[in-house]
Structure 1
Amino acid sequence: MDILRFATAGSVDDGKSTLIGRLLFDSKAIFEDQLEAVERTSRDRGTEYTDLSLLTDGLRAEREQGITIDVAYRYFATPRRKFIIADTPGHIQYTRNMVTGASTADLAIILIDARKGVLEQSRRHAFLTTLLRVPHLVLAVNKMDLVDYSEARFEEIREEFTAFASKLNASDLTFIPISALHGDNVVSRSENMPWYEGTALLHHLEHVHIASDRNLVDVRFPVQYVIRPHNATNQSLHDYRGYAGQVAGGVLKPGDEVMHLPSGLTTRIKSIDSFDGALDEAFAPMSVTIRLEDDIDISRGDMICRPHNQPHVAQEIDAMVSWMADGVRLQPRSKLVLKHTTRTARTVVRDLQYRLDVNTLHRDETATSLGLNEIGRVTLRTTQPLFVDDYARNRLTGGFILIDEATNGTVGAGMIVDAH
């Protein structure tokens, strides 16, 4: 079975945590003692129903305030597919948490309260998911029970959001009317909305096609580790030299001609090994060990690609950066450490081109710095060349993180727009 990673986003009290709790409950993915604890807490709080949002809002502050603060990861499976859920916070002050949760997602669910319609926060969430190139977007119009399951209200929200989404790069957009509290159209089709002809949310999650989302054209293999078993008891392993890493793009097969960067030397793949033995092919996001026919000086941070399909080799890049540091601002001449795939390099901020208002999409070209949860376009200069693709083409070789050298803490996440 393949794995679908999806993130949820929505404004405060739109029902994200309740929706995830409903998915876990109706798909029988929670234990009896978990359910008993939730029922007990619900009674203590005086609610007349079992508050399923308590399954995900684990922090005490979250329960007290009724909001999601941290990114909560939950796991469940159906006979068709395994799922990893990232319940991301919707409030603007937790933008960095949403960026973290959605950065690896195959699909994003944006919840909208049927009573309130498309809010400023809804537009911000949609923009962030498309900025992060999440391939599939589901707009779940929640709390349909509070608008008498009105088809007219659902269509009104659909038309308004479709008009806004036309300004974004949303490739796959699906609308589903639901009631997370009562389970309408969450796991099974709702009898209260006979006018809705689509599938339930879980059915859509089980059947959405994600295999073609990964880049299977551009071969990219960042080397993570060189395997030389010097102390091997097996004599045949004394000459073993393998290059371990995760395939970031394309398909690799024994006999394929490949090029090593930065040397530019070419050779062929001798074999592809995995924990389970030799493989006939490897593709993203598999982690494998590659052996080459020729001895080439390869180390961590190098890249294996095709001779006629190479990434950009650049020391100066333009990127959209989401700043995640509290108390420290990103500004020109800031010096940081940049980690891209398996390569780490020091970098300096050459220029801040503009700061982006994620609510209005307005570009402030007079901005001189980025603060916590702000996003802007910057130009970075690194001390050594990086092997990069545009983020729109490959999320793995087009993304990076920025690290504070003094604290070793992650202070920013970037998406490469252009390489010089």
Structure 2
Amino acid sequence: MDRLLDRFLEYVAIDTQSDPYSKTTPSTEKQRNLAKKIVMELHQIGMQDVSIDANAYIMATLPGNIEKTVPTIGFISHMDTSPDFSGKNVKPQIIENYDGKDIVLNSSKNIVLSPKYFDDLEQYIGQTLITTDGTTLLGADDKAGVAETITAMEYLIQHPEIKHGPIRIAFTPDEEIGRGAHLFDVEKFGAEWAYTMDGSQVGELEYENFNAASAKIIVSGKSVHPGYAKNKMVNAINVANEFLSLLPAREVPEHTSDRDGFFHVHKLKGEIENAQIELIIRDHDAGHFQARKELLDDITQKLNKKYGDCVALKIEDQYRNMREKVEPVFHIVEIAKEAMESLGIEPIIKPIRGGTDGSQLSFMGLPCPNIFAGGHNFHGKYEYIPLESMQKAVQVIVKICELTAIQIKSNGKRKKS
């Protein structure tokens, strides 16, 4: 545990922001700067089979230290940070023995992290918080997961009295732009199941996520002199606005929670002759998800009938709910749950209101629930993480490895208690 904080601070100092418009993998070369450091560190702590491929996917092995055969398990985190907010020149602030009051992140810009708005802060009174300086994100998503996984492996190497089976770890690029698992070699990884260390607050354990798709609507208008435009002009801006008005007004991120789905418009631009809308579709329920896509198609047809084939719709599926792949091997969730409970951590089992590499990996043949890494307010200047939460994440990784060796038979089935 001694290196956990220093390791995390070293990682967040390296800018690894990914780029959704890039066609390469990794999407930004600067992600390789952290990848090189991680590879060097894995060698230093004594991991085996350390490799990095041409696309910056890192894998390594901690061999088992017991004679019986147990399944190989894995832990996965991502190296990139969100393109939504700057990850350059991150200057973390360390708040020891947090007193429950407002934290001034940046006095000159009047940026304050306040429990009046972010009430999760209240559960961390007396703990050590790591925050931003108000000008960048922090990068706990997911450099906390990276630091925790490496620290857990180091701990197991230094404590051979803790018995475990073979463990594989991996670190991926470009998770934040939905490509973290695209080129992941599941066969090479060789684990029977894995856990992504990419959740938020202490106790989170997730095996459900959104079904997800993106949609792009292009409206082609007709520009005519406005003084003589009656029954001739088709103003693409107005048609685009009408399209949006036909979506359910309350089914948006700012009015939904739990298992509610939504439409989220994240880009809108236009002129009279051309307007474009970009949005995402999210729903945990497969039937509701399909209905959302059909609604977009229905609106498109309605407007085309009204204005004369001026609206084009393109929908692309992004990922699916991993629940259907995890439930048949539910013991992998039960082991994580027991690990938390044995450490005095109350499991928070809930659906992810987002995506995860684990979703794609589960459909690629690697069932992969998600476990907390400890951070809050990801992707922005109010991001923070308690050091104690990171320490607990390390303990959970170690305990899962230990419980798997004790509870799982060579055939991959859990022993009955």
TM norm structure 1: 0.25
Give the structure with the larger strand fraction: 1
Q: Give the number of the structure with larger relative contact order, counting CA–CA contacts within 8 Å between residues 6 or more apart.
A: 2
Please state which structure has a larger fraction of its residues in helix: 2
TM-score (norm 2): 0.25
